[in-house]
Amino acid sequence: MSKAIRQLVFAIAISLVPGLAAANTDAHSIVRVDEDVAYIDLGRKDGLAVGAALEVLAAGPAGQLTTVGIIVVDWVGPGTSMGKVPAEIRDRIRAGTLVRIPPPPVPVAPVATVAADVEEPPAPRAIAKRGPVTRLEHTAPNLVPPGVPLTLTAFVPEPLMRPVLMYRTKGAKEYKALPFTAKPDSYFTAQVAADEVQAPGFEYYIVVDEPAAPRSLAIADPERPSFIGVEGRFNQTEELARYGVADEASTLAELVSYRSREGVNDYYTRVQGEYLHRIFKGIYSMRFGGGWLRGYSIDRGDSGVLKGREVGFLYAYTEAELRSSAAPVAFLPRMIFGVNDNGVGGGFQARLRVGDELGMNFEAGITMVSEIGFETFTTLTVNPTRRLTLALSAHLEDLPLADQLGFRSHVDARLKIRPRLWGTLRLGVAARSIDTIGPDTGLGFAVGF
């Protein structure tokens, strides 16, 4: 939503409540509601952070604003934020509803009192086995990214005091104690360290002290704790921000010429197109493609006499990328199916990549196709600039006909032409012997979406 529209929604909301603009310049508006998620016109520029509590406001009979509930922020952008709407106030939330960051407390002058023997409240002890305290207010996100500190917020009015978060990783036996930190207006926060915010999530409950019953259950209990889920091994939001796109469609045309030998041409061409979808999970991506390989090469035949033979292979393939979240290592198996002159054929490819795909990395693999031949290859990829990627490859193969071994080497220069458009130029050489050397050239394009 543009800034102009947000301002219009806010202006309409103000116009419906007499005197609102004059008395409440620190109020902001909810600009959109999707089921139980509210989008708020507040962001990092306003000092907002994940876990912050925002007051939901409503107009009283005289036009004054009163707090009707709390929304805890789950996600914060530069100018907007997002939070889950508690069930008890869901029917009061809509586009235009006002919210605000809780104001600091108003200082109160101390009141003189007559000294008296006042018995100190007893020290905290075991949790009282009775019903939960209903006056404490707390909401939490259902799902959070891994490896990011998580701040939980609670509203703990007097006479409740000293709230403590009891939490554990899902599956662990013992709870850890984390005291809340006091904030203005009876709000308290507790921050779970980043290294403890890991998949699949953690369980927790909250206890407080009361004058008559220290260590009372306030939210959930040890046998039935609340649960916050943590995203899988990869933070999908961060990964998508790194790549810019989750999907790519690309094509590459290549000519590999081993030149002529004894009057017989030795070459092959390959045209290939593919679609890549990044899932950002255990199976990090899936790749689907197809192509046409056509060549003309030397065939000794049964008599041992050199003669030319035309070879063709129409194929399709599917590939999965299995990537580790603990180390920059990925394994990419590919199954190949197709048809050639003798009917149905097939093969496979396996690649291992070490290093960041968007940075420097090293890759090695092997491809085998029935009756066509095999190739082994290694590739070193570097990024001289943000727009240019260079991949230096070396191949050992007997394509396009499983008869004579050849070597080729090339460099792929991938240039970002536009934010979601790349072009690739391939230049290299191919040789079967010192006197049969030819070019390896190619051109390709990719578009992201």
Residue with tokens 């939980």: 152
Reported confidence tier of residue 71, pLDDT bands at 50, 70, 90: confident
Cis amide leading into 200 (omega within 30): yes
Specify whether the CB–CB gap between 384 and 359 falls below 8 A.
Answer: no
- Mean per-residue pLDDT over the chain, rounded: 82
433: tokens are 């012997």
pLDDT exceeds cutoff 50 at 59: yes
Cis amide leading into 102 (omega within 30): no
Q: List, for residues 108-156, the tens digit of each pLDDT value.
A: 455 444 444 545 544 444 454 444 444 788 988 888 877 789 999 999 9
Rounded to an integer, the average pLDDT of 386-414 is 91
**Distance in angstroms between the alpha carbons of the first and the last residue of the chain:** 21
C-alpha span between 410 and 138 (Å, rounded): 60
C-alpha span between 323 and 281 (Å, rounded): 8
Among 57-61, 174-178, 415-419, name the one with the lowest average pLDDT.
57-61
CA-CA-CA-CA torsion for 139, 23, 49, 174, nearest 10 degrees? -30
pLDDT exceeds cutoff 80 at 218: yes
The pLDDT, as a whole number, for residue 91 is 83
Q: Is 230 buried (19+), middle (13-18) or exposed (0-12) by CB count in 10 A?
A: buried
Reported confidence tier of residue 421, pLDDT bands at 50, 70, 90: very high
- Domains of the chain, first to last: 3-100 (2.40.10.410), 137-232 (2.60.40.10), 239-448 (2.40.160.40)
Beta strands in 226-328 (DSSP E): 226-230, 247-261, 264-278, 283-299, 307-323
The pLDDT, as a whole number, for residue 329 is 94
Q: List, for residues 307-317, the tens digit of each pLDDT value.
A: 777 888 999 99
Residue 395 gets which letter from DSSP? E
C-alpha span between 125 and 309 (Å, rounded): 89
CA 232 to chain centre: 9
pLDDT exceeds cutoff 80 at 6: no
Q: Which residues pair with 379 in a beta bridge?
A: 363, 393
Rounded to an integer, the average pLDDT of 36-59 is 82
378: tokens are 């290694």
